[in-house]
Structure 1
Amino acid sequence: MGYDTASRSDVESIIPENAGGMWFLKEALGTDELGLTVLELEPGVEGKEHDEIETGQEEVYYVVEGRVDVEVDGETVSLEGGDAIRLDPEETRQIHNGGDERATLVLAGAPL
C-alpha cells in the first residue's frame, strides 16, 4: 500500500494529561526516517531540554494554536499560531508555554 494513516488516539501520550499531551506517531505511521509528534502544552508547562546530537536529526516545530517560547542555546524565540522554527541537531532546545492558553504544536524530525 502506498500510504498509512494514524491518529493521536492510536498511541498513548508520554507526558501526564495535566501537562497537556505528547503523541509520537512515527511508529504508528510506519515511517523509516521521519518522526512526527503532536505536542500540547498547558500554560506554564515546559518541555524537556534536549538536543539531537545522538540522532543527527533536524527538527521543525510548527505552532498550530497558542503561543510558545523556544529556548535555543540561551536565546528565546517566541512563536505563535502559524509560526515554525527549524533546529539543527546540535542546538539545545526547550519549549515553554508562557501563555494563558493551551498550545498545540506539530513536531517533525529527520536525519540530515
Structure 2
Amino acid sequence: MGYQTASTDDVDSVIDGEYGGMWFLKEALDTEELGLTVMQLEPGAKGKPHDHSEDGQEEIYCVVDGEVVVEFDDETITLGENEAVRIDAGQRRQIRNESDALARLVLVGAPI
C-alpha cells in the first residue's frame, strides 16, 4: 500500500486532558523521518521549554484554530489562525496559549 491513514483517536495523548491534548502520529503513520503531531492547548496552558539540539530536528508549528505565543531565548512571537513558524533544531522554545479560547496546532518535524 502506498499510503497510511491515522487519527488522533488511534493514539493516546501524551499530556493531561486538562491542558488540552498532544497526539504523536509518527508511529501510527509509519513514517521513517517525518514527525506529525496534533496539539490542543486550553486557555492558560503551555508546553515545556525545549530544543532539539540532540536529535537535530527542525520543526514547523502551524496554528489551525486560535492563537498561541511562542517564546524563544530573546524574542516572543504571536501566531494566529493559519500562521506558521519554522524553528531551528538548536533554538530553545516554549509555546503558550494566553488567550481565552482553545488553540489547535499541527506540528511537523524532521531531522535536518
Give the TM bin, normalised by the shorter chain. over 0.9
TM-score (norm 1): 0.99
* Displacement of 1:74: 2.8
Q: Are 2:40 and 1:27 equivalent residues in the alignment?
A: no
Aligned residues: 112
Q: Residue 82 of structure 1 aligns with which residue?
A: 82
Per-residue deviation, residues 57-84 of structure 1 (Å, max 9, x unmatched): 1000000000000001231010010000
Report the equivalent of 1:92: 92
Distance 1:13 1:74 in 2: 30
- Give RMSD over aligned pairs: 0.5
Q: Which structure 1 residue ranges, 4+ long, deviate > 2 Å from structure 2?
A: none
1:111 aligns with 2:102: no
Task: Tell me whether 65-74 or 32-41 shows the greater mean CA deviation.
Answer: 65-74
Share of identical aligned residues, percent? 59
One-letter code aligned to 1:67 = E
Consecutive unaligned residues of structure 2, counting only runs of 5 or more, are none
Residue type matched to 1:76 in 2?
T
| Letter of the structure 1 residue corresponding to residue 59 of structure 2 | E
Report the TM-score, using the length of structure 2 for normalisation.
0.99
**Greater shift after overlay, 66-75 or 22-31?**
66-75
